[in-house]
Amino acid sequence: MRAIDYFDKGADACPGRTAIIDGESRYTYQEMREITRRIARAMSANGLNGEERAAIYSPNDARVLFCMLGVLRAGAVWVPINSRNAPEANAEYMVYAEVSWLFYHSSYRDQVEELKVRVPTLRHWICIDAEDGPNPSLDKFMQVGSNAAEIDWGDPYGNPERLMGLVPTGGTTGAAKGVMVTDLAWGTMTEMAGQYWAGDTTDRVCLTSAPLSHAAGVVAFVMTSLGATNVVMPGFDALDVLRNIELYRVTHMFLPPTALYALLNHPQLSDFDYSSLRVFLIVASPVSPDKFKKAVEVFGPCMCQSYGQTEAPMLLTWLDQKTVAAAAGGEHIERLRSCGKPTSAVTLAIMDEEGRLLPANTPGEIVARGSLVTRGYYKLPDATAEIRTHGWHHTGDIGYRDEDGYFYIVDRKKDMIITGGFNVYCAEVEAGVMALPQVHECAVIGVPDEKWGEAVKAIVVLHAGESLSEYAVIAHCKEKLGGVKAPKSVAFTDAIPKTAAGKTDKKALRRPFWVSRDRSVH
């Protein structure tokens, strides 16, 4: 089916149910569907042509979901923009993705003025929360073509190969790559999520505090197909999340491990009732087994985990609530380190460098096949071919499978850090640091961090006679790359270790920080 069809099925099942709560604002499924229809008609009336790219650039706001669904209904291609990235990085991605439409929040109007200059393909600007000079508000935009009929561009097969999203993922050099997400892959994910995430309730309430531009937006979309009420928070605040679980009788929630840790460390953790929780999903990076166990003790037998990536979204594996609860209780305690078993629409295996599939308990790269795997990278055939060698999709994650079929991630083949649930590619940060004239050489690694899971650390060699402070390096990177990608710490050294081939020896740099741990991811 088309992506929008999944939302419509949820709306058909419960038109009068509250679909979204955002502060004092509430919208039913019937109201939400009409808003998305008005957005689609307005885009058509303003000259939308086929699979044009439409970006959404906003902090958390109910209107982000309205625009996402309106874009999908119109047949355009959804492009989520990470508001935590530096404007320069977002502009570079939008040029590459050939974005024509931009739905943005007024709090980013200064950045949008910069994007207008930098992105020549941009033709339409809609400010979702207010009129902004010549750019209409979403309400005013929706008045255009309000009497026009909705265009039905579907086909009998559900348009399986049509592009519904062009989603950025970090690149090992330079700008992010655009993952081409088809209706087939998105539908596969949505249908599996409906199976695995449903929970033993029909009165579903999903709390969203992580950014809607990232995995939280995917979860919120899936929950609309189940007729859930999505409670949208402006951002993550540990105390507000704990309060809102009780206030709204939340049944479903997604957080990256770092946010879970913040909840578990909050001094008021024991002050609220969490008995409504049925599905507390941990995604984005491996979770600490000790903290996973504590989460079961605090929140009950609702904790679960899935593993995926932009190229195969959300559900390559599934570690269900009963398995997690049993492991927390001492039954197969090692499974607290697992990301689960392969889901129903994929085949997973472990592969060595020569393309041989490996037996149980033998580490290698996790590879996948199935309809969840997306088409590849936009306009990057060589990069697509690289992750498709030996007839499998290569995840870039190193792991193993045990005799019972559970998968465990132990390291990354890609030179990548997952910090606070966001992917940071080391080469991009290294290039940012190397732009400083005082720097002779730089290597970037991920180190364990209690708050972020992993923190970005830069190892820097200066030119002879030069001086530079840690603060100056971090401030420079924040300006060029944004706060997520900027190093959290900088170490200055006389030389960076090299391998026999003359390459930077990242393993040697990482070893002192990870030596006492049973895996090199956190």
Check if the beta carbon of residue 453 is closer than 8 Å to that of residue 418: yes
What confidence category does residue 522 fall into, taking pLDDT thresholds of 50, 70 and 90?
low
Distance CA 460, CA 388 (A): 35
Check if the beta carbon of residue 250 is closer than 8 Å to that of residue 260: no
The pLDDT, as a whole number, for residue 121 is 96
**Angle at Cα 186 formed by Cα 54 and Cα 255, nearest 5°?**
90
Question: Mean pLDDT across the stretch 494-514?
Answer: 76
Give per-residue pLDDT as tens, 46-104.
999 889 999 999 999 999 999 999 999 999 999 999 887 888 889 999 999 999 999 99
What amino acid is encoded at 1 in this protein?
M
The residue with greater pLDDT, 128 or 497, is 128
Q: Where are the CATH 3.40.50.980 domain residues in the chain?
A: 3-235
Q: Give domain 416-514's CATH superfamily.
A: ANL, C-terminal domain (3.30.300.30)
Res 315 pLDDT > 90? yes
The pLDDT, as a whole number, for residue 171 is 42
The pLDDT, as a whole number, for residue 468 is 95
Check if the beta carbon of residue 122 is closer than 8 Å to that of residue 116: yes
The pLDDT, as a whole number, for residue 59 is 94
The pLDDT, as a whole number, for residue 173 is 40
User: Could you tell me whether strands 312-319 and 341-342 are parallel, antiparallel, or unpaired per DSSP bridges?
Assistant: antiparallel
Res 234 pLDDT > 70? yes
Task: Say what the alpha-carbon torsion angle 183, 303, 213, 311 is, to the nearest 10 degrees.
Answer: -40
Res 414 pLDDT > 80? no
Question: Mean pLDDT across the stretch 383-412?
Answer: 92
What amino acid is encoded at 12 in this protein?
D
**Angle at Cα 499 formed by Cα 495 and Cα 505, nearest 5°?**
60
The pLDDT, as a whole number, for residue 499 is 61
**Mean residue pLDDT across the chain:** 91
Max Cα distance, the chain (Å): 70
- 5-10's contacts with Cβ under 8 Å and 24+ in sequence apart are 5/154, 5/158, 6/187, 6/190, 6/221, 6/222, 6/224, 6/225, 7/33, 7/36, 7/69, 7/72, 7/221, 7/224, 7/225, 8/33, 9/225, 10/224, 10/225, 10/226, 10/227, 10/228
- % pLDDT > 90, the chain: 71
Q: Where are the CATH 3.30.300.30 domain residues in the chain?
A: 416-514
Question: Mean pLDDT across the stretch 355-383?
Answer: 95
Question: Mean pLDDT across the stretch 392-415?
Answer: 88
Question: Mean pLDDT across the stretch 258-265?
Answer: 85
What confidence category does residue 379 fall into, taking pLDDT thresholds of 50, 70 and 90?
very high
Distance CA 188, CA 165 (A): 14
CATH number of 3-235: 3.40.50.980
- % pLDDT > 70, the chain: 96
Return the closest-CA partner of residue 326 out of 317, 318, 336, 316. Answer: 336
Res 513 pLDDT > 60? yes
Distances (CA, A) of 300 to 202, 496, 505: 19, 47, 43
Question: Mean pLDDT across the stretch 248-268?
Answer: 91
Check if the beta carbon of residue 171 is closer than 8 Å to that of residue 177: yes
Distance CA 453, CA 417 (A): 10
**At how many degrees (to 10) do helices 257-264 and 238-247 cross?**
80
What confidence category does residue 149 fall into, taking pLDDT thresholds of 50, 70 and 90?
confident
Distance CA 373, CA 186 (A): 9
Give per-residue pLDDT as tens, 157-186.
999 999 999 999 854 344 689 999 999 999
The residue with greater pLDDT, 345 or 84, is 345
The pLDDT, as a whole number, for residue 519 is 61
Res 286 pLDDT > 80? no
SS3 289: helix
Question: Mean pLDDT across the stretch 343-368?
Answer: 95
Res 515 pLDDT > 80? no
Structure tokens at 461: 């060699």
pTM of the model: 0.82
Q: Is the dihedral of CA 65, 66, 68, 72 positive or negative?
A: positive
Rounded to an integer, what is the distance from CA 102 to the centroid of its chain? 20
What confidence category does residue 327 fall into, taking pLDDT thresholds of 50, 70 and 90?
very high
Determine if residue 505 is left, alpha or beta; phi over 0 gives left, psi from -120 to 50 gives alpha, anything else beta: beta
